[in-house]
Amino acid sequence: MSTTETIVGAVTDIVGGEHVVADEESRHFYSADISFEAYEPAALVARPGSTEELAAIVERASAEGFAVVARGGGMSYTQGYTPATDRTVLVDMRRMNAIREINTEDMYVVAEAGCTWEQLYEALGEEGVRTPYYGPLSGRFATVGGAASQNSVFWGGGAYASVADSIVGLEVVLSGGRVLHTGSWARSGCSPFLRHNGPDLTGIFTGDTGAYGLKAAVAIRLVKAPSVSLGASFSVPDFATSTAALSELARYGIASEAYGLDPFYTDVMVRAGLGFLADHPWSIHFGVDAVDESIAQAGLDFLKRIAADFGPEIDNTTVGVFKSNPFGAVQSILLGPEGELWLPVHAFLPLSRAQEAAAAIEGWFDDIQPQLDQHNIKTSLLTAAAGKDFLFEPSLYWFDELGEFRLDKIAPEAAEEWKSIPADPETRSVVLDLRRQMAKRLDDLGCCHIQVGKYYDYEPLMEDETWKLTQGIKQLVDPDRLINPGSLGL
């Protein structure tokens, strides 16, 4: 069996010593996500600079019997990139961040997988275009390849759903270092302009949480950048009304984004200067993007008439503040307003089931309130429209050590203030247990998870034949089970 020394040497030959880290501290740092769930430290972390280097790493690792796992911005929390074995080469994709082509005639962009959403958004803005879905709230750090693998949602998601819906083709490195393209990109002499060149092979690799291959580059549809963004906000009496209103707005697919704020997030906004929200603990907010003022205004007026059935209109500053800095909210999501750690469960529901699931989790939070109080654990209920689906993200917050990853992602003043919060393993284990219970409850309510990784149950909830196909594809693309073993339950 090959040793760690052999693989470190081989990968160093491919990418150069400055792009390999193998010290113990770094191996742990890169191998752990923010979920505090179990992981094995990778044998080394490699930073390839091209598809050729990436393919060579995978080829060599496969030959030496080492697993390979891709890590983008590391912003996920479902054990997606956490190695299942210490015989793993963890590939930090962020050096592969080139934007290869912006084609404003055929309206697609090709970006390397390690490009962040913020980098892509800014580069496209200079050309007067945008991707339809344009990134998660974590997009300052989260990469195009990570989001494609997790199928992330948020910016542009009200009208354009998740990132997978905007992708037209992929360049993927399979086990053994084989490289393939999907969609029209796979046809000789063809550009990546069309997703459905025969069956949808792109779809197989989106949302796979890295289990089927390593995305080297992603081709994404473009639209003309909207020149007008308008927004509206409404106060609603309670969570049930908020859920009903968002579901109804989602059915029209006009809002670029539509989301609800609960008392927890309202408090965050009030502390950030939006004092008027203090009178509205529950509220909904939506925006309309368009290339022309009259189109945006007509869309907004229409949605306002829908929303007016659920509550009174209020000041719309919230929408504009958010939208003006789409990737600036990392700190206010990653941590509570006093530096509390955050852990969510991410769930997708059909609109018809949203109210039931929301009521069940709200009721469960009420039931466990004494336990929450005992450990000073707080909760929030984040909701949004994702195309014609409902995104529900109940979260838990508690005081615990922030650690290097979180400290690095927040404002220096906040890091200075909160870096001395001590570790609290006892409360942490209560939180991890509650989080599992919450995921189970949502599973029982028929929720799906787009960020399966190694955290959520997948196989036990699948039909036999579908699971067999899922495994069959794995057998084809990764017969030795060396690409992110354990991800997607494979």
Ligand X SMILES: Cc1cc2nc3c(=O)[nH]c(=O)nc-3n(C[C@H](O)[C@H](O)[C@H](O)COP(=O)(O)OP(=O)(O)OC[C@H]3O[C@@H](n4cnc5c(N)ncnc54)[C@H](O)[C@@H]3O)c2cc1C
Residue from 30, 39, 81, 108 that binds ligand X (CB under 6 A)?
Answer: 81
Asked if 209 touches ligand X (CB under 6 A), the answer is yes
Helices (H) and strands (E) in the chain — how many of each?
A: 18, 19
Q: How far apart are CA 417 and CA 91, in angstroms?
A: 33
Q: Which of residues 138 and 241 has its CB atom nearest to ligand X in the complex?
A: 138
Q: Which residue is nearest to ligand X (CB)?
A: 146
The position carrying tokens 């203090």 is 278
Q: Which of residues 311 and 344 has its CB atom nearest to ligand X in the complex?
A: 344
The position carrying tokens 């911005």 is 73
Which value, to the nearest 10 degrees, does the dihedral of the CA atoms of residues 428, 433, 434, 440 take? 150
Minimum CB–partner distance for residue 32 and ligand X (Å): 11
Q: Which stretch binds ligand X (CB under 6 A): 8-16, 140-148, 348-356, 467-475?
A: 140-148
Q: Which of residues 7 and 330 has its CB atom nearest to ligand X in the complex?
A: 330
**Going residue by residue from 425 to 454, which x/- string records binding to ligand X, judged by CB under 6 A?**
--------------------------x-x-
Instruction: Count the neighbouring beta carbons within 10 Å of the beta carbon of residue 107.
Output: 15
DSSP string covering 152-211: ---TTHHHH-SGGGGEEEEEEEPGGG-EEE-GGGGSTT--S--S-SSS-HHHHHTTSTTS
Asked if 145 touches ligand X (CB under 6 A), the answer is yes
Nearest to 82 by CA among 131, 40, 36: 40
Q: How far apart are CA 422 and CA 402, in angstroms?
A: 8
Asked if 210 touches ligand X (CB under 6 A), the answer is yes
Q: Which of residues 72 and 287 has its CB atom nearest to ligand X in the complex?
A: 72
Minimum CB–partner distance for residue 97 and ligand X (Å): 11
Residue from 31, 88, 182, 484 that binds ligand X (CB under 6 A)?
Answer: 484
Q: How far apart are CA 322 and CA 151, in angstroms?
A: 22
Give the length of the chain: 490
- State which of positions 61-80 bind ligand X (CB under 6 A): 69-76, 80
Asked if 214 touches ligand X (CB under 6 A), the answer is yes
Can you list the alpha helix ranges (DSSP code H) found in 139-238? 144-150, 157-160, 201-205
Output the six-digit token pair for 463.
Answer: 């039909």
Q: Which of residues 147 and 354 has its CB atom nearest to ligand X in the complex?
A: 147
Residues engaged in binding ligand X (CB under 6 A): 69-76, 80-81, 93, 113, 136-138, 142-143, 145-147, 149-150, 152-154, 209-210, 214-215, 330, 333-334, 451, 453, 484, 487
